[in-house]
Chain A
Amino acid sequence: MNMIEMQDITKKFGSFTALDGVNLSVGEGEIHGFIGPNGAGKTTTIRVLMGILKATSGTATIFGKDVWKDSVEIHKRIAYVPGDVNLWSNLTGGEVIDLFLRLRGDKNAKYPKDLIEQFDFDPRKKCRTYSKGNRQKVALVAAFASDADLYIFDEPTSGLDPLMESVFKEHVQKVTREGKSILLSSHILSEVEELCNQVSIIRQGKIIETGTLTELRHLTRTSITVTTKEPLLGLAQLPYVFDISTKGDGTNFSVDTEHLGEAIAYLNGKDILDLKCLPPSLEELFMSHYAEGGH
């Protein structure tokens, strides 16, 4: 059974369609990256999943239960970190973390000290004095200190420094090893690339691409830098080769990833001296989609 199953979810605010038939599924043990530009509908999708917004149409379930009707049941097994963490100005960070843990049922819960230390966080300051990054740490510590089956993160690292980002990644990998599932919304592509095994791309309220990173890479081009003894005659005529340029002895070009084998076979006949082959980054994948959609 899938952890998250969204089918044809549409969400309208008045005449504005924020989500337009979103389909999304996250399987057990999956780390699902959810990427898209600002205003694409990432947060709206997550807030529908959290039972905070009511979908206009479509069905959405978590653990097989309806996200709107059974939200309380579902939330017992979810840890959620919103993109914008708003806290009570006159409570301390430590008090809020404890409160968040206790709201999950254990009335005497206290956060473990080592987690605070790893995130380099001072729990004794009032929330009004925390920066955005520190407020995010409150929600992250509370999430990682709780024993959930599904973690939902909405741009969790947008206020963290690189050091804290790596602490976050360690913890994500730790819960993954325990077989937990994660939905991670982000526009930091390297993060998604590093952590996730499944990716969905959302744009203007629609999921435009979904699949494993390997699957998505098939849609893109690999860039090749090659130096050969013999001239590369006829390279420009190959239908799957693009963007040829020369620099010193070397030649740069990109090739449809699907036809990578044929390109290598062609180069083989030209006596290769040096070959560099770069896989497409998610960055390029992202850019190619937005460039297409933009026109």
Chain B
Amino acid sequence: MNNRFFASIRPLVSLILRRDRLRILIWTVSIGGFLGALIPLLKEYFTSGADNAVSAQMLENPAMVAIVGPVYGASNYHTGAAYGNMMLLFMAVTVAIMDIFMVARHTRQDEERGRLEMIRSLPVGRLAGLGATFIATLLTNLLVFLAGTGFMYFFMEDGMTLTGCLLFNAGLLVSGLFFAATTAVLAQVFTNNRSVISWSFALLLFLYCLRGVGDVSNETLSLISPLGLVLRTKVFVDNDWWPIVILFLITCTVAALAFILARIRDLGSGLLPERKGHAHASALLCGPGGLAMRLLRTPFIIWTLVMVILAAMYASVFGDLESFMDSNEMLKLVFGQNPDHSPTEQFVGLIIVIMSMIGTIPVLSFTFRPAAEEVRGRAENILSKAISRTKYLTTYLVPGLLISLLTQVLMALTFWGIGSAVMDTPPSLETFLIGFLSFLPAMWVFQGVGTLLVGVLPKRTSLAYLYLGFSFIVVYMGALMNLPEWVKKFTPFGLTPQYPVDDWNFPLLLALTGVAILLTIIGYLGYNRRNIGG
């Protein structure tokens, strides 16, 4: 093509594919592999002696419908129906995330960093950049489509057909492209990449929630949301193709809008001008603590919400737990061996550890903030003022400590509140509180490990996440796979007793807290002794 809009589009497509080849490979393989690998896992879950009608009944609980979408084919709930029900929405969101990042990176981010200006100074059409981004995104999604269909076809189980596999992946393809197109539109509207990504995710979240509300109460709302539309394919049950066609037409319209907007605006500008901020700092931004608070404010709020929502999701299934447990051989095997405690209590115990481990992620990320600030050359701004290193480090450790306390208490309250509503004989608030709070020392040990890394090995902070991942596997898989008990002793989450099933062990918790304090002190000493890079 050689005209003023799309000249040189081909080399631009190659450039994007070259820059993203590793990302594309990783996304394709992991999405495809995941789609395939989950089939045998789900089959195990739903056919190992389980009464599938009961499983379907549990998934028809409004909370579950709001989260994963409506149940189709409950009367004959085979692996295919269960797979479509549990996987389609989740994977559509995953592909949407991939496409949002990909489009934002090659449109607004390139423009913001001035790379697009370099390209545009060459004999390149005015819309070639946007066009190339669309083509490259389309190619990537087609690769994912092929990988997904291939892997699913390979692992196919009862109730699944090639048509179903194609439809499932076509659903991922069009809904992914829809979010690629909306991101492209938002990239014309906002002048910076951060806003483009934030608003794209806000739109994704909004459409997800709209579908959630729609699936529970009002079918029309679900049909307005592309995510709801995709679920109406009733994949592996009825295999309807009309939602794909409609969504494809909508996507083309949105993409056309992106091109029209790109044509009428100037390079480097957005349709919405950058808002002016404050001329002066507020009274809160008055020291290193105020700065840390300001920088961590948004992640603090988001993590707290995420933890509470996760807790609410788990708590909402407590009511159906007993009947579900009774119907599932595998779960009986895991939870059925303890005569003193009901399976529900054991399940609650396991969920508490898992939630505590997820809650450790923000603690670590706050603890690592000083190291991240250092790499970006911003720690220097503070440390060149009359602020000691000890004080600087403390301003980031305190929010970590606070979020550990806050999320554990809020999750206990959520479990108790929702649990009381859905269970016949709910555990007491005290049980939940002790259960959650007894994992605080374990979380603090992780914060100690994090502080130690910041102080001594600031370039290796990912080691703490690896250790957390190890803990997760040991505790979570240990329950399913009967790992030897001593393996659990290598992680504070395995060491901590799971109240109410295990007895409360105060000296052990005290010892863990002591270890956490010791690690933290070593971290402080290291931080005070080393060079600050940047």
Contacts and interface: CB of A to CB of B under 8 A. Distances in A.
Interface stretch (A85-93, A262-270, A275-283): A85-93
A128 B521 CA distance: 35
B interface majority secondary structure: loop
A interface majority secondary structure: loop
Given A53-B531, A105-B386, A86 B376 contact: yes
B285 interface: yes
Interface in A181-233: none
Contact of B532 (A52, A75, A124): A52
Interface stretch (B44-52, B287-295, B487-495): B287-295
Given A88-B295, A94-B278, A94-B281, A72 B376 contact: no
A84 B377 contact: yes
B387 A72 contact: yes
B385 interface: yes
Given A75-B384, A75-B386, A98 B288 contact: no
Interface centre among B278, B385, B530 (most CB of A within 10 A): B385
Contact of B286 (A102, A125, A126): A102
Interface in A45-82: 50-54, 71-73, 75-76, 78, 80, 82
Contacts of A75: 384-387
Nearest to A97: B281
A124 B275 CA distance: 9
Interface in A93-151: 94-96, 98-100, 102-105, 107-108, 110-111, 123-126, 128-129
B295 A102 contact: no
B278 A124 contact: yes
Q: Interface residue tally of chain A, by bracket?
A: 35 or more
B280 A103 contact: no
Contacts of A128: 192, 194
A126 B190 CA distance: 14
B117 interface: no
Contacts of A89: 194
A100 B388 contact: no
Interface in A23-62: 50-54
Contacts of B530: 54
B380 interface: yes
A86 B191 CA distance: 20
Interface in B258-287: 274, 276-283, 285-287
Contacts of B376: 86
Contacts of B377: 82, 84, 86
Nearest to B387: A103
Interface in B285-340: 285-288, 290-291, 294-295
Contact of A126 (B277, B290, B383): B277
Contacts of B75: none
Contact of A103 (B194, B382, B529, B534): B382
Contacts of A50: 380, 383-384
Contacts of A96: 281
B378 interface: yes
A87 B378 contact: yes
A107 B387 contact: no
Contacts of A78: 384
B281 A107 contact: no
Contacts of A95: 277-278, 280-282, 285
16 contacts: A71-B388, A72-B386, A75-B386, A78-B384, A82-B380, A82-B384, A86-B376, A94-B279, A94-B280, A95-B277, A95-B280, A98-B285, A104-B386, A110-B281, A124-B277, A125-B277
Interface of A: 50-54, 71-73, 75-76, 78, 80, 82, 84-92, 94-96, 98-100, 102-105, 107-108, 110-111, 123-126, 128-129
Given A84-B377, A86-B377, 7 more contacts: A50-B383, A54-B530, A54-B531, A86-B376, A91-B285, A91-B294, A95-B285
